[in-house]
């Protein structure tokens, strides 16, 4: 049986960060990864000759974000592509009404002004909301307070519904009233034309990583831990668990003894969203020039309501659309061919015969993946933001949880995962570790981009 100072479960960004920092501190560390690849929910497909990020895609706000300096240290090229917090304006958006007619600039401005007016009221209502209220509850109050007619109110209500689907991967009634409180982005957002998985590849450099190691049981005490996979067993003083929240909620790893309520409670209360990304490559561009996004209002946008022009990343005419929450689960139950046909059909309602058959497509399925069981975490009704951090409470001086779901100020982000791995490593060592050491090799040189 192999013995280590620390076993890290999961080779995503949180696990690789913790393992790298501990290794640089002189600890003997092994990383156990159930997949046949590293990266977790960072996953770049290069099969078409360009990069398609099927998992995380963005640095959400580059100012003050540790990922910004880290990506620069690794030599990762970036392209500015600011999404914002699902905004109604501020970028060139082609808006279409429920009858597939383009909104003229004045109409688009009136609609965006309606959203901003409701948002101002919503902020006050959320601040005064009681425990147990959902985002649907407070959004409905904010819309009703405007005194609009049914159609006008419906346009803003559906915007709120789509906002929670995109930001949380959940239905508006499943998200806590305070569920989007942390949804603030500072500075531009960027994506990686060379693939986000460069981050994982560089973090993994020099580490002892064992692939195809599905962890089944973690037995722990104050004396140490025993981690058992389908193929082997590992003993260590500490274990850092970085599997997605969905895996923990499903009880896929047995903890002996069971985790205490200070950790188990947040695992139960927090939600794990489902967010399907669909990339569709076309033979030529049919949507307006200089358009950042396409938005469809009304019932026709129930599932496919927003398309983003990601041609700058691929160098090919390409749109990215999403389906989240219950709609995402419905989409995941369809074949890829059915999904793409549905997306194309929706676009043809707007642009008619100018929409040719796609020449390439990619459909994600994180919700149906047994090694993730969802896309990212969110604050469900009955949970609080504090539950994210509470989930990472050290157990018995031996068990540490990390990952995006354990970071309260930036859950559902790669930087949240990175910072949680840093925190776990500091807790294992019992002392601060400068995050700036992360891109260093054991000998002190800086890692470089690999592919």
Binding residue positions for FAD? 33-34, 215
- C-alpha–C-alpha distance, residues 384 and 380, integer Å: 8
CA angle 255, 257, 258 (to 5 degrees): 60
360-363 sheet: strands from edge to edge: 93-96, 293-296, 306-309, 318-324, 275-281, 360-363
User: Is residue 197 within 8 Å of residue 412, measured between CB atoms?
Assistant: no
Two structure tokens written together for 167: 């930001």
CA angle 225, 231, 234 (to 5 degrees): 20
Binding-site residues, in ranges, read 33-34, 178, 215, 322
**Scanning the structure block, which residue is given the tokens 């309501």?**
305
Nearest to 239 by CA among 42, 402, 40: 402
Positive/negative CA dihedral, 431, 435, 436, 438? positive
Buried b (16+ CB within 10 A) or exposed e, 143-163: beeeebeeeebbbbbbbbbbb
Radius of gyration of the chain (CA): 22
- C-alpha–C-alpha distance, residues 21 and 442, integer Å: 10
CA angle 354, 357, 363 (to 5 degrees): 120
User: Is residue 400 within 8 Å of residue 218, measured between CB atoms?
Assistant: no
Binding-site residues for substrate, in ranges, read 178, 322
Kindly state the greatest CA–CA separation across the chain.
70
């Amino acid at each position: 049986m192999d013995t280590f100072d620390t076993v890290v479960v999961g080779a995503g960004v949180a696990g690789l960060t913790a393992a790298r920092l501990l290794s640089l501190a002189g600890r003997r560390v092994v990383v156990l990864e159930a997949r046949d690849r590293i990266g977790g929910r960072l996953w770049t497909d290069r099969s078409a000759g360009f990069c398609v990020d099927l998992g995380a895609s963005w640095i959400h706000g580059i100012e003050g974000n540790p990922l910004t300096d880290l990506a620069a240290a690794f030599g990762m090229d970036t392209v500015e592509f600011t999404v914002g917090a699902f905004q109604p304006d501020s970028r060139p958006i082609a808006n279409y009404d429920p009858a597939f007619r383009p909104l003229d600039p004045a109409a688009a401005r009136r609609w965006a002004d309606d959203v901003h007016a409701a948002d101002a009221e919503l902020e006050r209502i959320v601040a005064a909301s009681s425990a147990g209220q959902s985002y649907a509850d407070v959004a409905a109050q904010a819309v009703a307070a405007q005194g609009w007619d049914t159609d006008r109110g419906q346009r803003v209500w559906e915007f709120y519904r789509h906002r929670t689907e995109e930001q949380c991967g959940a239905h508006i009634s499943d998200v806590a009233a305070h569920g989007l409180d942390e949804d603030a982005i500072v500075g531009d957002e960027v994506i990686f034309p060379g693939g986000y998985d460069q981050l994982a590849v560089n973090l993994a450099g020099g580490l002892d990583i064992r692939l195809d190691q599905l962890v089944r049981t973690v037995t722990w005490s104050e004396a140490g831990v025993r981690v058992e996979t389908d193929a082997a067993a590992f003993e260590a003083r500490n274990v850092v668990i970085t599997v997605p929240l969905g895996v923990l909620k499903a009880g896929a790893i047995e903890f002996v003894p069971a985790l205490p309520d200070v950790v188990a409670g947040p695992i139960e209360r927090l939600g794990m969203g489902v967010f399907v990304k669909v990339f569709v490559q076309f033979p030529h561009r049919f949507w307006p020039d200089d358009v950042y996004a396409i938005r469809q209002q009304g019932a026709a946008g129930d599932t496919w309501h927003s398309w983003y022009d990601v041609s700058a990343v691929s160098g090919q005419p390409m749109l990215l659309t999403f389906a989240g929450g219950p709609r995402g689960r419905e989409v995941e139950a369809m074949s890829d061919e059915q999904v793409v046909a549905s997306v194309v059909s929706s676009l043809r309602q707007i642009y008619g015969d100018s929409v040719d058959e796609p020449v390439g497509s990619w459909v994600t399925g994180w919700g149906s993946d047994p090694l993730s069981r969802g896309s990212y975490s969110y604050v469900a009704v009955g949970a609080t933001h504090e539950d994210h951090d509470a989930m990472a409470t050290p157990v018995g001086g031996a068990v540490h949880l990390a990952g995006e779901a354990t970071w309260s100020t930036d859950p559902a982000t790669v930087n949240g995962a990175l910072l949680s791995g840093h925190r776990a490593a500091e807790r294992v060592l019992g002392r601060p570790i400068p995050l700036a050491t992360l891109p260093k090799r054991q000998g002190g040189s800086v890692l470089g981009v690999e592919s």
